[in-house]
Amino acid sequence: MIGRRTFFGAATASVALGGLLQSQAAEAAAATAKLGFKDYEPRGALGRLERFGTLDLEGQQSFTEGFRLMHRKLIRAASNQALDRVLARNGLDPTTLVTKEELIALVENEPAINIASKAWLANQLVTWKTLQNHFHQHADRYLTEMETADRAGPGALELDPALDIPQYARHEIHIQPGGYVGDPFAGHMYHYGTNSFYVGTIGHNEQDEIHRSTAAALPLPADGRVKRILDMGCGVGQFTVALQERFPEAEVWGVDVGGPMVRYAHMRACDLGVGANFAQRLAEDTKFPDGYFDLTTSYIMHHELPAHITRAVIAEAARVTRPGGVYYPVDFLSGGVKSTARSMYGRWWDHRWNNEVWSFDYHGLDFSAEIGQQHFTFVKETPAALRGFGARHFIRNA
């Protein structure tokens, strides 16, 4: 028996599916659903989002979210102005193409830029620490909730306590304590922490608005057949659930290396009554049969992978996507070791202060060109499923 505080949850809670067909997964889920899912939401929910467990935590997170907005509008703006002054002193302008090293040499000793970075970092640390403290202080309640969900449906869950977590996945992405694999409440923290990030960047996502609109915009195979869908690197399953809601009759799978992430994803899907399936597997080694999926996708995953793993994931997508099926990975625009000074500043800042370890590996790739080398044909003039991100609509070759 695995200890209930381990990353991966109780071994007896695993539904070992290993590529079984949807009918078999449904039978396993139905057999265990009668054990019941005991939802723990002490302060109720606002639509799809459960409210913070205590008023104290709600106040703390409201403060950090407000600081994030203020930082974006005032402190980060002052930092950008400082960057422009540095560029001007060096006879450059914001559109000048620079490398990371050239950018660092320009900004590393600029006080206004360093103050802005430190202020953001401190707020990020408080965001994570208050979330982590709450879930650990109420661990028994939240662990019990997950344990009952492990054995419930309508969807199925597969955890793999013996999975050898790759080194590339062990860092604390976004400086989240424990990262995606090292804290039993990684999924809880990620969900609430990223809601705050969205408000501070591209908009509200408390009701999964961004994931649902992105899922709704994904293109379909020419024959219209969408019976099976794979979400690679699914995290806490918001995109997976949105895909299941768009295609309620389809067999939908979300896979992720993080046991706590898929465990939370499954629990939340149960709470929403959505029958998506989740498995703790590697995106580069999903274990599904060849040509199994009509639609293969991912949501902002690849910039968190080293370049050689990105290539391996693309190869795996080519293997599991049927001829004529669609591959559409959602992620940032990429390509080239140089960028405009303003853009490179943002990229370096995210890498340096938000612990985006592999972002320069990703941005150094021409991501679309890499996909085109792996048995896929690019479909031109397809609108981006998520505005501001690359439009990568590919068809699996016969």
pLDDT value at 31 more than 60:
no
| Domains, the chain, ordered by start | 22-34+137-396 (3.40.50.150)
- Which string of b and e fits 108-129 if b means at least 16 CB within 10 Å? eeeebbeebbebbeebbeebbe
Burial of residue 1 (number of CB atoms within 10 Å: 0-12, 13-18, 19+): exposed
Q: Is 301 exposed, middle or buried (0-12, 13-18, 19+ CB in 10 A)?
A: buried
Cβ-contact 247, 229 below 8 angstroms: yes
Mean pLDDT score of the chain, rounded to an integer?
91
Q: What is the pLDDT of residue 28?
A: 38
Rounded Cα distance, 177 and 137, in Å: 15
Q: So what's the pLDDT on residue 199?
A: 87
Mean pLDDT calculated for residue range 309-324? 98
Average pLDDT over residues 138-150: 96
pLDDT in tens, 65-104: 999 999 999 999 999 999 999 999 999 988 899 999 999 9
Place of tokens 């997964």: 25
- What's residue 236's pLDDT? 98
pLDDT band at 395 (very low <50, low <70, confident <90, very high): very high
Q: How far is 274 from 398, CA to CA, in rounded Å?
A: 33
Helix (H, G, I), strand (E, B) or coil at 395: strand
| pLDDT value, residue 302 | 97
Residues sharing a CB contact under 8 Å with residue 196, sequence separation 6 or more, in sequence order: 61, 64, 65, 68, 127
Q: What is the pLDDT of residue 88?
A: 95
pLDDT digits (tens, 9 = 90+) for 213-244: 999 999 999 999 999 999 999 999 999 999 99
Residues 370-376, mean pLDDT to the nearest whole number: 97
Q: Is there a contact between 276 and 244 (Cβ–Cβ < 8 Å)?
A: yes
Work out the pLDDT band at 12, boundaries 50, 70, 90: very low
% of residues, the chain, pLDDT over 70: 91
> CA Rg, the chain, in Å?
21
Tell me: the pLDDT tens digits for 184-198? 999 999 999 999 999
**Residue 333, CA distances (Å) to 203, 246, 354, 358, 390 in order:** 19, 26, 18, 15, 5
Tokens describing residue 305: 């992978």
* Amino acid 135: pLDDT: 98
Q: CA nearest 129: which of 68, 182, 196, 175?
A: 175
Whole-angstrom Cα distance, residue 277 to residue 286?
13
Burial of 78 (0-12, 13-18, 19+ CB in 10 A): middle
Judge contact between 178 and 295, C-beta under 8 A.
no
Burial class (CB within 10 angstroms; exposed 0-12, middle 13-18, buried 19+) of 37: middle
Is the four-CA dihedral 300, 255, 192, 383 of positive or negative sign? Answer: positive
- Token pair for 106: 């320009």
How far is the CA of 174 from the CAs of 82, 137, 350, in angstroms? 25, 22, 9
Share of the chain above pLDDT 90, in %: 85
DSSP secondary structure of 122-170? HHHHHHHHHHHHHHHHTHHHHHHHHHHHHT--SS-EE--TT----GGG-
The pTM assigned to this predicted structure is 0.91
Residues in the chain: 398
Q: Are 172 and 355 in contact (CB under 8 A)?
A: yes
CB 58 within 8 A of CB 130: no
The answer, yes or no, to whether residue 2 has pLDDT greater than 50, is: no
What is the mean pLDDT of the segment spanning 192-209? 91
More confident residue, 1 or 151: 151
Q: What is the DSSP string of 60-103?
A: HHHHHHHHHHHIIIIIHHHHHHHHHHHHHHTT--TT-EE-HHHH
